[in-house]
A = this chain, B = another copy of it.
Amino acid sequence: MTQQAEYDVVVLGAGPVGENVADRVRAAGLSAAVVEGELVGGECSYWACMPSKALLRPAIARADARRVPGLRQLVGGDLDAAAVLAHRDDYASHWKDDGQVGWLESIGADLVRGHGRLTGTRTVTVTGPGGEERVLTARHAVAVCTGSRAVLPDLPGLADARPWTSREATSAPAVPGRLVVVGGGVVGVEMATAWQALGSRVTLLVRGGGLLPRMEPFVGEHVAEALSEAGADVRTGVSVTAVERPGGTGPVTVVLDGGERIETDEVLFATGRAARTEDIGLDSVGLEPGAWLTVDDSCRVEGSDWLYAVGDVNHRALLTHQGKYQARVAGDAIAARAQGAPALDTGRWGAHAATADHDAVPQVVFTDPECASVGLTLAEAEAKGARVRAVDHDLAAVAGSGLYADGYRGRARMVVDLDREVLLGVTFVGPAVGEMLHSATIAVAGEVPLGRLWHAVPSYPTISEVWLRLLEAYRG
């Protein structure tokens, strides 16, 4: 027998994005069901942000300590990999979701375990663990928050080689002696950094000319240099043509386009993401299964008055924090519409518009050195036709940098809109820049004019004094 239930809002997916949509609509007094077939808490909690940063922090902290005279002689040795992995396990909650389930209960949302599929307008059918079906009807909105998954390329032998994706790379129970990482994006460089520091001999294979191609070009150059110095073998401009692991066990052989064969203990493919929308019933509402979902700034799917797509699935910015931001906006928009608000605040930077998705997406890459950017790169700003100027400064030339790390290397760039004299983008690369990023995010999202930024005095001697140097360089 099929159970039926009605809610104001049905949320598909209980990652951070789904959780935040539920939180906002519950705060507005709406009822909400959250459907999840895996662990409540999602990719971020178990196979991404949390475990990856737990693996990376010791690598970064040791690198930092090695650059401090008087301390460096203590930290020449190896990390205690077992302690790092145990700590990582703690941060991944040992892949149990009790804590997150408790949080959902605390906000009064109903968790429905099982695989959810749209089966018509405002209707979701959930197939439970035992095959039982439950039909959930939404009075106001269904929010698809199913995220994304790793995509493996179509290579001979790959399917049988049990390659790592981001999930295995963040949850591996032991340190492989040798690790080949394919892909120079965020997952690739972060995992190369972590496992190299934990004792693996890492080979990083990148098809393009550089690492982190979505950031300013100098960022990837700094990371490549540091990874090489840490002992990793970084190769750009190479493609993998086949992978061999006879019997699916033992060493893996990675074959390159030039014919070279690299033997390794594990191989990680960090080569892209796809929308997790292939089996959620999109065809029942006239949409294409497997596609990214196109939404307006309130995260409502174009052409629909009840279907929302929030987080990775809408392909606006595949980042946990940006998905959570969208969730707050979408949740508030759903609630306002449900309550018959005469007009939503969907103008630029309005409460119901995820404007930052276009203009102020921040990202920190937790490598050594750290990478941090917000807004547009110079190339992106130019492509938009803006009249812009990039202003660069050597982070090593800031007093606070040298005091933070002997031999500090890094760089900063701000992209200035010359017509409005506001910042369109800011990029930092260097030790400890991760926590500097939010200054740039506030400047960009706040559209604080350069004339006012002169009055925002960086405290001396912090690395943040680069802000003064950038302003001076702009004044020229």
A165 within 8 A of B: no
A442-B456 in contact (CB<8A): yes
How near does chain B come to A261, taking the closest CB pair, in angstroms?
A: 33
Task: State whether B75 touches A321 (Cβ < 8 A).
Answer: no
Residue of B nearest to A84 (CB): B70
Given A437-B459, A438-B458, A80 and B73 contact (CB-CB distance below 8 Å): yes
Contact A456-B438, Cβ < 8 Å, known A57-B404, A81-B70: yes
Q: Determine whether A74 belongs to the interface, using a CB cutoff of 8 Å to chain B.
A: yes
Nearest residue, chain B, Cβ from A49: B461
A474 within 8 A of B: no
CB distance from A471 to the nearest CB of B (A): 10
- A324 CB within 8 Å of chain B: yes
Give min CB distance, A97 to chain B, whole Å: 16
With a cutoff of 8 Å between Cβ atoms, the chain B residues found around residue A322 in the complex are 457
A274 within 8 A of B: no
Over the window 441-467 of chain A, the binary record of Cβ atoms lying under 8 Å from chain B Cβ atoms (1 yes, 0 no) is 111111010011111111111111101
CB distance from A200 to the nearest CB of B (A): 14
What's the nearest-Cβ distance from chain B to residue A321, in Å?
4
Task: Return A285 CB to nearest CB of chain B, in Å.
Answer: 30
Give which listed residue, B53, B62, B463, B465, contacts A461 with CB less than 8 A: B53
A446 — which chain B residues lie within 8 A by C-beta? 442-443, 446, 448, 452-453, 456
Question: A-side binding surface: helix, strand, loop or mixed?
Answer: helix
Asked if A68 is at the interface (CB within 8 A of a chain B CB), the reply is yes
A407-466 CB contacts (< 8 Å) to partner B:
432-439, 441-446, 448, 451-465
- Tell me which of A111-119, A141-149, A263-271, A360-368 binds B: A360-368
Cβ B442 vs Cβ A356 within 8 A = no
Interface presence of A87 (CB below 8 A): yes
Q: Does A159 contact B (CB under 8 A)?
A: no
A230 close to chain B: CB less than 8 A:
no
Question: Across the interface, which residues of B come within 8 angstroms of A460, CB to CB?
Answer: 44, 49, 319-321, 324
List the B side residues contacting A328 at CB < 8 Å.
454
Q: Which of A315-363 contact B (CB under 8 A)?
A: 319-322, 324-325, 328, 349, 351, 355-356, 360-363
Give bound CA distance, A443 to B441, whole Å.
10
Task: Tell me whether A226 is interfacial, beta carbon within 8 Å.
Answer: no
Q: How far is the CA of A463 from the CA of B57 in the complex (A)?
A: 13
Q: Are A65 and B71 in contact (CB under 8 A)?
A: yes
A453 to B445, CA, bound (A): 8
Contact B70 A87 (CB under 8 A): yes
The chain B residue sitting closest to A467, CB to CB, is B438
A462 touches B435 (CB 8 A): yes
Asked, given contacts A84-B70, A351-B451, A453-B446, whether A458 binds B362 with beta carbons under 8 Å apart, the answer is yes
30 CB-based A-B contacts, threshold 8 Å: A49-B460, A53-B403, A58-B69, A58-B70, A62-B65, A65-B65, A69-B86, A69-B87, A70-B80, A70-B81, A73-B80, A74-B75, A319-B460, A321-B465, A349-B451, A351-B454, A356-B455, A360-B456, A360-B457, A361-B457, A432-B432, A434-B462, A436-B436, A437-B464, A439-B439, A439-B441, A439-B442, A444-B456, A446-B448, A446-B456
Q: List the interface of chain A (C-beta within 8 A of B).
A: 44, 49-50, 53-54, 57-58, 61-62, 64-65, 68-71, 73-75, 77, 79-81, 83-84, 86-87, 91, 319-322, 324-325, 328, 349, 351, 355-356, 360-364, 372, 399-400, 402-404, 406, 432-439, 441-446, 448, 451-465, 467
